[in-house]
C-alpha cells in the first residue's frame, strides 16, 4: 500500500482537499499556482527605503474628506506603506454581486500623492451579514456544535466550498482592479487565520482526507493502534472530528488536516490574485497568535507565500526582549529569509487582562529589535481609534479626534531613523552559525500529552535560546527538515517525533562535520504519533551510542553535576545509558528517587567528522549556560561581538562588504559599550566611534566595513 508522507509537502494531498470541496458544489477546480517555485520579489528600487514604516488604515470607517489629512500625518511620520481593505468586505460588496471599489481606488491615489505604497488585504476574515445570513453553511461550528454568529469576525467556515467561491471572487475582483496599480506593492490574504470548524461537512472532508492519506482502514487502524479501547474503525464515516482528548494519532492528523485546509483556503485566493496581478506584487498573510500557538504548521502555511509576516504584540506588561527576539527569529525561519511585521502595538492593546502601555522609548526599541532580527518593515495597528466596535480602547497613533496621540512623536522618530539608515541596511540580513530546530509534529505531540503540567514548550525553547543569545550570537530557528550544512552547531530542544527520513537528515549533518545536541523527549514518537519501538532517541540510538532507559516527570529539583559543572534539573529528567565504548558521560544525576541516582543525564559521541549529544533533563539557567559554553567550544563557534552589559541586546545583519550591528538597551540604567573595532554610528551624524553610551531604552546602529565578503 502507498502511504502519503505526513509532514513533507504533498501536492496530491493538497489538491485532494480542494477538489473534494469543489465537487460538493459541482464547481470547476481553480488551477494551483506554484508560488513557492517563483523567486522571492527583489529588493525595491534604490529610491524606495529598504526599511519600511507604516500602519493599518481603514478609510472606509471615516468620511472621505478626512483621508488626505490622515495621509499627510503619515507622510510627516516618514511612513511609506499602509495596509488597507482586510475588514472592508461590506463596503466592497454591499450586496451579493454588487461591487464598489471606486472608493478604494481613490484612497490608493491619495496615498500615492503622499508617497505611500499600499498593501491590500483580502477581506475574507470578516464576511458581510448578507453572506452569512443567506448562506449559513459558510458559518463555522465549534467543537460543541454551536454555529458562530455575525457581529464579530472569523465566523466563517474555513472548509466551506461556498465560502471559498465568494473568497475567490472578491480576491479576483480586487486583483483585476489593482493588480497592475503602480502603488500597490503587495497583498495580504485574510487576517490571522485562527479558528477551525467542526461541522458535519468538515468532518466528512476530514474522513475523505484520511482515506486519501491512508488508502485503507487497516493501515489507519494499525498506525493508530485502535485495538486500544475498542477504537477500531470499520467505515471511514465512523471516525470522529475532535481537537482534544482523542486517539493521539487522530489528534495529530487533525492538525495536519487543519494545516492543509488553511493552506488550501489561502491558495484559492492566491490563485485568484495571480491571474491578474503583476509578479512584482508580493503575497503574504499576517500570522497572529504571538507567532507560536496556532493549530497549524507555519512552515507549511508560508510555503506558498512570497514572504512571511506576523503580528507582534506585548499585551500586558513590558517587552520581554528574549522571548520577542526568539519569536522574530522563529518567523524568519519559516521561509529562511527576511520578513515583515504586519502589525505591532502602538503603546497598548485592549485585549490583555491589564492593558498597560509600553514605556516611553520602548516602542522604538521594539521596532529596532524587529529590524535587528531580520524584519524589513514594521506596521502599526492601528492608525486611528474607531468610534465604535470591539476594539475602541486599542492603542492608536491618532485619536478619534484625528489629532496625534503622544506615541505619534516616537513613531515619527522611528520613521526618520529608518529613512536615515536604509541605505546601509539594504540587502543585509542576519547570518547565523547556530540553529535551533523546531517541529510542529513534535510540539503538538508533547502538547497533547505533556505528562507534567509544568512542561511549557515555549519556555523550553527559551531556556535553550537564552544562553546562546547571551553569548551575543545570531540564532536561526528553523524547521528540522531544513538544510543544515551552513551551521556549526544545531540544537534541538524537543524533537519528540523523529521519523526515519529526519533521522537520516540529522545523521548526515553530523557525519559531515556538524555538531548536534538533542534535548529531552527526543525520538519518542514516529510520524503517526505512535511510540517508537526503540527507546529514545529512536532511530538515532545507534548514532548516539546510547539511549533513554526511562523518563521521569519531576515535582521537585534533582541535583546534576559533572565535567560541565553543577546544578539542578526540574520538571523532566531522563535516565540515560551508554551502549558504545566511545560514548562519554558529561553529566550525572545526584541522589534523587533511587532510579536516577548517579545515572547519566547527558552523553556525547563523535560520529564521522562531527558529534551527537543528548541532554535528557531541563537544567537550571546557570548549568544550562555552562552546557551551552561547552557546546559552542566543541563546535568552534566564534563570538560575533565583544562582551556586553547584561541588559544590552546585540543584533547583527550582514551585507556585502559590511556588517550592521544594532545595540538595544532594555535596562533601566545607561550602558557603556566598548566596540571591538572602529564603527560608524548611523544615528548620530555618521561619526567614527570606538564606544557608545546607550540611555535606558536606547538604540545604536553601527556599521563596520568587513571587506568584499562580509564576516
The distance from CA 347 to its chain's CA centroid, rounded to whole angstroms, is 22
The 10s digit of each residue's pLDDT in 566-590 is 999 999 999 999 999 999 999 999 9
Annotation says 192 is catalytic: yes
633, three cell numbers = 567550544
Under the banding of pLDDT at 50, 70 and 90, the label for residue 289 is: confident
First to last CA, the chain: 51
The distance from CA 687 to its chain's CA centroid, rounded to whole angstroms, is 37
Q: What are the residue ranges spanned by the domains of the chain?
A: 434-634, 648-705
Q: Which residue stretches of 275-393 are H helix?
A: 298-301, 321-335, 362-372
pLDDT of residue 6: 34
Which CATH number is associated with domain 648-705?
A: 2.60.40.1180
Q: Sign of the CA dihedral 180, 184, 188, 191?
A: negative
Is the pLDDT score of 710 beyond 50?
no
Annotation says 343 is catalytic: yes
- Those residues with Cβ within 8 angstroms of residue 189's Cβ, 6 or more apart along the chain or in another chain: 121, 122, 124, 171, 266, 269, 270, 283, 284, 285, 305
HSE-up of residue 609 (Cα within 13 Å, Cβ side): 9
Under the banding of pLDDT at 50, 70 and 90, the label for residue 46 is: low
pLDDT of residue 390: 85
Whole-number Å distance between alpha carbons of 264 and 158: 9
Is the pLDDT score of 389 beyond 90?
no
Looking at per-residue pLDDT, the higher value among 140 and 19 belongs to 140
pLDDT of residue 47: 63
Number of H helices, E strands in the chain: 18, 25
pLDDT of residue 271: 98
Q: Flag the least confident range among 15-29, 519-533, 642-656.
A: 15-29
The 10s digit of each residue's pLDDT in 81-132 is 999 999 999 999 999 999 999 999 999 999 999 999 999 999 999 999 999 9
Average pLDDT over residues 486-515: 98
Three-state SS sequence of 127-174: CCHHHHHHCHHHECECCCCCECCCCCCCCECCCCHHHHHHHHHHHHHH
pLDDT of residue 11: 34
- Those residues with Cβ within 8 angstroms of residue 305's Cβ, 6 or more apart along the chain or in another chain: 35, 189, 266, 270, 283, 284, 285, 335
| 434-634 matches 648-705 in fold | no
The 10s digit of each residue's pLDDT in 210-220 is 999 999 999 99
Whole-number Å distance between alpha carbons of 430 and 370: 11
Under the banding of pLDDT at 50, 70 and 90, the label for residue 622 is: very high
Average pLDDT over residues 397-401: 94
Under the banding of pLDDT at 50, 70 and 90, the label for residue 20 is: very low
pLDDT of residue 293: 77
Is the pLDDT score of 652 beyond 60?
yes
With 0-12 / 13-18 / 19 or more C-beta atoms within 10 angstroms meaning exposed / middle / buried, residue 271 is buried
The 10s digit of each residue's pLDDT in 446-457 is 999 999 999 999
Average pLDDT over residues 530-535: 94
Looking at per-residue pLDDT, the higher value among 669 and 706 belongs to 669
| Residue written as grid cell 493521539 | 248
Check: pTM over 0.75? Answer yes or no.
yes
Backbone angles phi, psi at 569, to 5 degrees: -115, 145
Backbone angles phi, psi at 27, to 5 degrees: -110, 155
pLDDT of residue 1: 30
Q: Flag the least confident range among 72-76, 106-110, 355-359, 565-569.
A: 355-359
The 10s digit of each residue's pLDDT in 154-209 is 999 999 999 999 999 999 999 999 999 999 999 999 999 999 999 999 999 999 99
Say which CATH topology domain 434-634 has. Rossmann fold (3.40.50)
Asked if 108 contacts 116 with a C-beta cutoff of 8 angstroms, the reply is no
pLDDT of residue 45: 54
Task: Go through the chain and tell me how many residues it has.
Answer: 711
User: Whose CA is closest to 499, among 554, 441, 446?
Assistant: 441
Of 253, 343, 457, 527, the active-site residue reads 343
Of 60, 86, 93, 192, the active-site residue reads 192
The contacts found for 243-251 with CB under 8 angstroms, 24 or more apart, are 243/143, 243/196, 243/198, 243/295, 244/143, 248/224, 248/445, 248/448, 248/449, 248/529, 248/530, 249/220, 249/223, 249/224, 249/225, 249/528, 249/529, 249/530, 250/224, 251/444, 251/448, 251/529
pLDDT of residue 387: 86
pLDDT of residue 685: 86
On average, the pLDDT of the chain sits at 92
DSSP 90-113: HHH-SBTTB---HHHHHHHHHHHH
324, three cell numbers = 520577542
Amino acid at each position: 500500500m502507498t502511504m502519503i508522507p505526513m509532514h513533507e509537502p504533498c501536492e496530491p494531498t493538497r489538491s485532494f482537499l480542494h477538489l473534494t470541496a469543489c465537487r460538493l458544489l459541482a464547481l470547476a477546480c481553480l488551477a494551483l499556482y506554484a508560488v513557492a517555485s517563483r523567486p522571492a520579489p527583489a529588493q525595491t528600487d534604490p529610491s524606495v527605503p529598504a526599511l519600511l514604516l507604516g500602519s493599518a488604515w481603514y478609510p472606509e470607517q471615516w468620511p472621505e474628506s478626512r483621508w488626505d489629512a490622515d495621509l499627510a500625518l503619515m507622510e510627516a511620520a516618514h511612513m511609506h506603506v499602509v495596509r488597507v481593505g482586510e475588514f472592508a468586505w461590506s463596503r466592497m460588496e454591499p450586496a451579493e454581486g454588487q461591487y464598489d471599489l471606486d472608493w478604494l481606488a481613490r484612497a490608493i491615489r491619495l496615498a500615492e500623492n503622499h508617497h505611500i505604497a499600499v498593501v491590500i488585504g483580502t477581506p475574507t476574515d470578516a464576511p458581510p451579514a448578507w453572506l452569512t445570513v443567506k448562506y449559513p453553511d459558510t458559518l463555522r461550528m465549534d467543537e460543541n456544535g454551536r454555529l458562530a454568529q455575525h457581529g464579530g469576525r472569523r465566523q466563517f467556515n474555513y472548509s466551506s466550498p461556498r465560502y471559498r467561491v465568494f473568497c475567490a471572487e472578491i480576491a479576483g475582483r480586487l486583483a483585476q482592479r489593482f493588480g497592475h496599480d503602480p502603488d500597490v506593492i503587495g497583498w495580504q490574504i485574510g487576517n490571522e487565520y485562527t479558528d477551525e470548524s467542526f461541522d458535519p461537512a468538515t468532518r466528512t472532508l476530514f474522513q475523505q482526507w484520511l482515506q486519501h492519506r491512508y488508502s485503507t482502514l487497516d493501515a489507519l487502524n494499525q498506525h493508530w493502534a485502535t485495538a486500544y479501547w475498542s477504537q477500531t474503525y470499520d467505515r471511514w464515516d465512523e471516525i470522529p472530528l475532535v481537537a482534544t482528548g482523542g486517539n493521539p494519532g487522530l489528534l495529530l492528523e487533525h492538525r495536519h488536516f487543519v494545516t492543509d485546509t488553511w493552506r488550501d483556503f489561502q491558495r484559492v485566493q492566491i490563485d485568484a490574485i495571480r491571474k491578474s496581478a503583476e509578479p512584482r506584487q508580493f503575497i503574504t498573510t499576517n500570522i497572529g497568535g504571538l507567532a507560536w500557538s496556532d493549530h497549524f504548521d507555519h512552515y507549511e502555511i508560508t510555503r506558498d507565500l512570497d514572504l512571511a509576516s506576523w503580528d507582534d504584540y506585548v499585551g500586558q506588561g513590558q517587552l520581554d526582549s528574549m522571548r520577542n527576539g526568539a519569536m522574530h527569529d522563529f518567523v524568519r525561519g519559516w521561509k529562511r529569509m527576511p520578513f515583515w511585521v504586519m502589525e505591532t502595538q502602538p503603546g497598548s492593546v485592549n485585549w490583555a487582562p491589564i492593558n498597560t502601555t509600553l514605556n516611553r522609548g520602548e516602542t522604538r526599541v521594539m521596532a529596532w529589535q524587529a529590524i535587528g532580527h531580520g524584519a524589513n518593515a514594521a506596521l502599526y495597528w492601528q492608525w486611528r481609534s474607531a468610534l465604535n466596535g470591539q476594539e475602541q480602547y486599542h492603542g492608536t497613533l491618532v485619536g478619534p479626534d484625528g489629532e496625534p496621540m503622544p506615541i505619534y512623536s516616537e513613531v515619527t522618530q522611528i520613521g526618520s531613523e529608518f529613512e536615515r539608515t536604509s541605505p546601509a541596511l539594504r540587502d543585509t540580513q542576519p547570518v547565523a552559525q547556530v540553529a535551533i530546530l523546531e517541529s510542529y509534529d513534535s510540539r503538538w505531540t508533547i502538547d497533547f500529552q505533556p505528562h507534567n503540567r509544568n512542561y511549557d514548550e515555549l519556555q523550553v525553547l527559551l531556556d535553550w535560546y537564552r544562553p546562546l543569545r547571551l553569548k551575543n550570537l545570531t540564532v536561526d530557528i528553523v524547521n528540522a527538515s531544513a538544510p543544515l550544512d551552513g551551521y556549526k552547531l544545531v540544537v534541538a530542544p524537543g524533537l519528540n517525533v523523529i521519523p526515519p527520513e529526519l533521522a537520516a537528515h540529522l545523521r548526515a549533518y553530523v557525519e559531515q562535520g556538524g555538531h548536534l545536541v538533542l534535548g529531552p523527549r527526543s525520538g519518542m514518537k514516529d510520524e503517526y504519533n505512535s511510540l517508537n519501538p526503540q527507546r529514545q532517541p529512536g532511530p538515532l540510538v545507534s548514532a548516539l551510542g546510547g539511549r533513554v532507559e526511562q523518563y521521569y516527570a519531576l515535582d521537585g529539583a534533582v541535583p546534576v553535576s559533572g565535567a560541565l559543572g553543577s546544578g539542578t534539573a526540574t520538571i523532566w529528567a531522563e535516565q540515560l545509558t551508554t551502549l558504545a565504548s566511545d560514548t562519554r558521560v558529561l553529566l550525572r544525576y545526584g541522589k534523587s528517587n533511587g532510579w536516577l541516582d548517579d545515572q547519566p543525564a547527558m552523553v556525547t559521541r563523535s560520529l564521522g567528522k562531527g558529534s551527537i549529544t543528548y541532554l535528557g533533563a531541563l537544567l537550571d539557567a546557570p548549568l544550562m549556560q555552562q552546557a551551552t559554553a561547552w557546546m559552542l567550544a566543541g563546535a568552534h563557534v566564534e563570538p560575533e561581538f565583544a562582551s556586553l552589559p547584561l541588559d544590552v541586546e546585540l543584533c547583527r545583519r550582514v551585507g556585502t562588504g559590511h556588517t550592521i550591528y544594532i545595540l538595544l538597551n532594555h535596562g533601566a540604567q545607561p550602558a557603556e559599550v566598548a566596540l571591538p573595532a572602529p564603527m560608524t554610528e548611523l544615528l548620530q551624524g555618521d561619526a567614527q566611534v570606538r564606544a557608545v553610551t546607550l540611555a535606558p531604552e536606547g538604540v545604536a546602529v553601527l556599521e563596520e566595513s568587513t571587506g568584499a565578503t562580509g564576516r
